[in-house]
Chains A and B, each alone.
Chain A
Amino acid sequence: MSVGKNEPRRDGPAKLTGRAKYLDDLDIPGCWHGVTVRATVPHGKIKSVSYDPSFPWQECVIATAEDIPGKNLVALIEADQPLLADGIVRHREEAVILIAHPDRATAYEAAKRVKIEYEPLPPVFDMEKSEKVFKSFKIERGDVDAGFAAADVIVEGEYRTPSQEQAYIENNAIAAYEENGILIVTGSIQCPYYVLKAMKQAFDRDETKIRVIQTVTGGGFGGKEEYPSMLAGHAALLALKAGRPVKIVYDRHEDMTATTKRHPAIVRHKTGLMKDGKLVAQDIEVVMDGGAYATLSAVVLSRGTLHAAGVYECPNTRVRSKVVMTHTPPNGAFRGFGAPQTLFAVELHWEKIADVLKIDSLVLRQKNIFKLGSTTATGQKLLESVGAEECLQKTVKGSKYVAKRKEYDRWNKSSKNKTWKGIGLAVCHHGAGFTGSGEVYLASRAGVALTRSGELIVLAASTEIGQGTNTMFAQVASDALGVPASWFSVETPDTHKVPDSGPTVASRTCMVVGGLVSRATRELKRAFEAEYGKVPKTPADLKKAAAVLCAGKAARRFEVQYEKPPEVTWDDATYRGDAYGVYSYAAIAVDLEIDKLTYEVRVNKVTTAQDIGKAINPLLAEGQIIGGSTQGLGWALLEEPIFKDGIMINGQFTNYIIPTSLDTPPFQVSLVEKPYSRGPFGAKGVGELPMDIPGPAVAAAVKHATGRLIPTLPHTPERIAKALS
Chain B
Amino acid sequence: MRGDAKSMTVLRPRSAAEAVKSYAKVPTAMPLAGGTDLMVGWNLGVLNGRSILDLSRVAEWKKINVVSDGIDIGSLVTHSEIQKHPVIRKRFPLLVAACGTVGAAQIQNRGTIGGNIANASPAGDTFPALAVYEATVRVLGQSGRRGVPISEIFAGVKKTTLKPGELIEAVFLPFTDTAPTRGVFRKVGTRAAQAISKTMFAGLLFNGKGGVLAEARLAFGSLAPTVRRLYAAESFLKGRKLDDKTINAAAELMTTDVSPIDDIRSTREYRLVVSRNLLIAFLKGEVK
A, B in one complex: yes
Contact of A721 among B43, B104, B270 (CB under 8 A): B270
**Restricting to A698-725, which residues have a CB under 8 Å from any CB of B?**
717-718, 721-722, 725
Report the minimum CB–CB distance from A23 to chain B (whole Å): 15
Contact of B270 among A596, A650, A717 (CB under 8 A): A717
Residues of B with C-beta under 8 A to A251:
1-2, 43
Residues of A with C-beta under 8 A to B5:
105
Q: Is B191 engaged at the interface, CB distance under 8 Å to the other chain?
A: yes
Contact residues of A: prevailing secondary structure: loop
Closest partner residue, chain A, to B279 (CB atom): A597
Check A599 against B274 for contact (C-beta < 8 Å). yes
Q: Is B3 engaged at the interface, CB distance under 8 Å to the other chain?
A: yes
Check A597 against B281 for contact (C-beta < 8 Å). yes
Contact of A598 among B264, B267, B278 (CB under 8 A): B278
Bound CA–CA A718/B6 (angstroms):
45
Interface residues of A, count at CB 8 A: 33
Q: Is A409 engaged at the interface, CB distance under 8 Å to the other chain?
A: no
Q: Is B269 engaged at the interface, CB distance under 8 Å to the other chain?
A: yes
Contact of A600 among B4, B188, B265, B273 (CB under 8 A): B188
Bound CA–CA A109/B7 (angstroms):
11
Closest partner residue, chain B, to A597 (CB atom): B277
Bound CA–CA A251/B40 (angstroms):
12
Bound CA–CA A600/B190 (angstroms):
9
Closest partner residue, chain B, to A725 (CB atom): B273
Residues of B with C-beta under 8 A to A657:
190-191, 195
Bound CA–CA A597/B187 (angstroms):
12
Max chain B Cβ within 10 angstroms of own Cβ: one of A103, A109, A602: A109
User: When A654-B196, A721-B274, A725-B273 are in contact, do A598 and B188 touch as well, CB less than 8 Å?
Assistant: yes
Residues of A with C-beta under 8 A to B48:
105, 109
Contact with A along B245-288 (1 / 0, CB 8 A): 00000000000000000001111011001100110010000110
Bound CA–CA A458/B1 (angstroms):
38
Check A598 against B45 for contact (C-beta < 8 Å). no
Bound CA–CA A175/B265 (angstroms):
36
Contact residues of B: prevailing secondary structure: loop
Check B287 against A662 for contact (C-beta < 8 Å). no
Closest partner residue, chain A, to B45 (CB atom): A108
Bound CA–CA A515/B266 (angstroms):
49
Closest partner residue, chain B, to A418 (CB atom): B286
User: When A598-B188, A663-B191 are in contact, do A105 and B1 touch as well, CB less than 8 Å?
Assistant: yes
Q: Is A655 engaged at the interface, CB distance under 8 Å to the other chain?
A: yes
Report the minimum CB–CB distance from B47 to chain A (whole Å): 11
Check A106 against B4 for contact (C-beta < 8 Å). yes
Max chain A Cβ within 10 angstroms of own Cβ: one of B1, B192, B194, B264: B192
Contact of A602 among B1, B192, B270 (CB under 8 A): B192
Bound CA–CA A348/B43 (angstroms):
43
Contact of B2 among A108, A599, A660, A717 (CB under 8 A): A108
28 A-B pairs (CB sep. < 8 Å):
A105-B2, A105-B5, A105-B6, A105-B7, A112-B45, A251-B1, A418-B286, A597-B278, A598-B274, A598-B278, A599-B270, A599-B274, A600-B188, A602-B192, A638-B190, A655-B190, A655-B265, A657-B191, A660-B104, A660-B192, A660-B194, A661-B193, A662-B191, A663-B192, A717-B274, A721-B273, A722-B269, A722-B270
Query: Which 3 A-B residue pairs are closest in the complex by CB-CB distance?
Result: A105-B4, A662-B193, A662-B192
Known: A105-B4, A105-B5, A105-B6. 19 other contacts (CB 8 A): A105-B45, A112-B45, A251-B43, A253-B44, A597-B277, A597-B278, A599-B274, A602-B192, A642-B264, A649-B264, A654-B196, A659-B191, A660-B104, A660-B194, A662-B191, A662-B192, A663-B192, A721-B269, A721-B270
